[in-house]
Chain A
Amino acid sequence: MTIKFHISEDILLKYSAGTLDEASSLLVATHLALCPHCRMRNGSADALGGFLLDSLEVAPVSPSMMDAVLARVRNETPSRVPAARSAASTNPVIPDPLRSYLGGDLDSLQWKLIAPRVHQVPIETADRRSKARLLRFHSGLRVPSHGHNGRELTLVLTGELCDRDTVLRRGDIAETDERTEHQPYAGSGEDCVCLAVTDAPLRFKGLFARLLQPLLGI
């Protein structure tokens, strides 16, 4: 598996600083599980945070704090390194943390039909700034042409998601914004399952799709 489309610097830095919304952070963390290259980049972003922490001017803490901390911990034995990677007999399709959010792997999900040949599983997040959903496009499906009122992030988990000459496969990320108008379609092989995160409703071009939109909740 070779991932071609990675997380943008902007989003990775926000994830590292802890300022990215929950749904987008879920998508970033799930991509990181699939992409050693971006885990390395994420390490760089964290290292920048560490450097900044090091470089700050100091703010003196209360003189009693060190004793207070030691009083709490001095009798505790620090926890050891957690168990190594389990050699699991089953290999889940959906990596953590997404699998935990969904409550199970791909075969255990309750899909809801939201349009002909499109199913979704909404994902609950405490943070209301953005919405996450798992979408399943049946092979060959064409999504009606649409634009975006805000940013949309899509992470492909199975199958192929195509847009003009671009083909996205497992682990690949598509990032679209207000300027993007597109008509993606699912590849002809297996169904395409992807995690989609939006911070504003989509903007469909066709009247029919626009009328349906409130019903679909997209």
Chain B
Amino acid sequence: MTARRTHFIESGLQTRANWIEAFFSSIDNWTSKRIFDIAFAARFADLPHGATRARSNPGNIMVAKERLQGEPRPKASEFAACISRIADDRDQSAFEFLFRYFAPRIKSYCLKLGADASAAEEITQEAMVSIWRNAGQFDPSKAAPSTWVFTIARNLVIDRFRKSRRPQFDFNDPALVPEEQLPPDRLIEQTELQANVRQIMDSLSSNERNVLMLSFFENLSHFEISRRLSLPVGTVKSRIRLAFGKIRSKFEAQDGAGK
């Protein structure tokens, strides 16, 4: 952990003031386009559940411990049930279940983005308070629980470290163009979409996912990733290409078969 933090600081993202600008700016357009392909190809892919498990790889710093040890992750539906129990019954044990899973991840997210330990603790606490207070507004047909929690944490991080706002659209605005105007074949349930994003990411090997995550989440360039993983730059690039190639072939297979 310490070595990783040091490395993170060396990578030029050290100040809290500028981490957020730096977070994405070094991803070149090619990479972000490919990353988006993952998210978007998920519209068409329909992989079997738990398609491929992540392979155990002790050197893989980005993969959650649960998966390294092969433990199943709680299902989205369990989290969704907990959120509705908080909303309906102010159920503390449901909240504790969510807390144990999400609080350490929210803190990890804050640290990864350059917050110091005490700021990360404070943001995590605020995020957990928000989860309780807004539990009644969670709509499982619109977002997976982890997506909902991510947006809460992200907005708190922006409030804390950025002076500006992040404008958002308003579903209740009379000027909003509603979903019904989308042709039916283009309408896909958000939950289905999100399950597919997860399945596609899960189907990648841990090496491929590792490289993708460093690129997307920590905003590292190919060169920085190669230093971090002690790999030649060429290997980093070819792994990213390979990962996207896999996604594309799934996409095309599904596209050809399903449409």
Q: Which residues of A contact B (CB under 8 A)?
A: 1, 9-10, 12-15, 17-22, 25-26, 29-30, 32-37, 39-41, 43-62, 65-66, 68-70, 72-74, 76-88, 90-97, 99, 101, 125-127, 171
Contacts of A87 in B (CB 8 A): 174
Q: Is the CB of B121 within 8 A of A65?
A: yes
Contacts of A90 in B (CB 8 A): 174
Per-residue CB contact flags for chain B residues 160-189 toward chain A (1 = under 8 Å, else 0) read 001111111111111111110110001010
Interface pick from B85-93, B231-239, B244-252: B85-93
Q: Is the CB of A14 within 8 A of B24?
A: yes
Q: Is the CB of B92 within 8 A of A79?
A: no
Interface residue total, chain B, C-beta cutoff 8 A: 102
- Tell me the chain B residues, 33-85 only, with Cβ under 8 Å from chain A: 33, 35-40, 42-43, 61-65, 67, 73
Measured in the bound complex, the distance between the Cα atoms of B24 and A61 in whole Å is 27
Known: A13-B36, A85-B174. A59 touches B104 (CB 8 A): yes
Q: 26 A-B residue contacts at CB 8 Å?
A: A10-B27, A13-B36, A13-B216, A17-B23, A19-B21, A25-B165, A37-B182, A43-B142, A43-B190, A44-B193, A45-B36, A47-B198, A53-B102, A54-B198, A55-B67, A55-B209, A56-B105, A56-B109, A57-B64, A65-B121, A65-B128, A66-B128, A78-B134, A85-B174, A95-B173, A171-B177
Measured CB to CB, the closest approach of chain A to B38, in angstroms, equals: 7
Measured CB to CB, the closest approach of chain A to B117, in angstroms, equals: 9
Q: Is the CB of B175 within 8 A of A78?
A: no
Q: Is the CB of B177 within 8 A of A36?
A: yes
| B188 interface neighbour in A9, A40, A79, A127, Cβ under 8 Å | A40
Contacts of B62 in A (CB 8 A): 55-57
Contacts of A36 in B (CB 8 A): 177-179, 181-182
Q: Which residues of B contact A (CB under 8 A)?
A: 20-21, 23-25, 27, 29, 32-33, 35-40, 42-43, 61-65, 67, 73, 86-87, 90, 92, 95-96, 99-100, 102-109, 111-112, 120-121, 124-125, 128-129, 132-137, 139, 142-151, 153-155, 157-158, 162-179, 181-182, 186, 188, 190, 193-194, 197-198, 201, 209, 213, 216-217
In the complex, residue of chain A having the shortest beta-carbon distance to the beta carbon of B103: A61
User: Given A47-B42, A55-B63, A94-B175, list of 18 further CB < 8 A pairs?
Assistant: A1-B177, A13-B35, A13-B36, A25-B167, A30-B169, A49-B150, A50-B151, A50-B194, A51-B197, A55-B67, A56-B108, A58-B104, A59-B120, A87-B174, A93-B175, A97-B169, A97-B170, A99-B173
Q: Is the CB of A97 within 8 A of B104?
A: no
Measured CB to CB, the closest approach of chain A to B112, in angstroms, equals: 7
Measured in the bound complex, the distance between the Cα atoms of B142 and A167 in whole Å is 33
Contacts of B124 in A (CB 8 A): 61, 65
Contacts of B150 in A (CB 8 A): 46, 49-50, 52-53
Measured in the bound complex, the distance between the Cα atoms of B124 and A90 in whole Å is 42
In the complex, residue of chain A having the shortest beta-carbon distance to the beta carbon of B54: A55
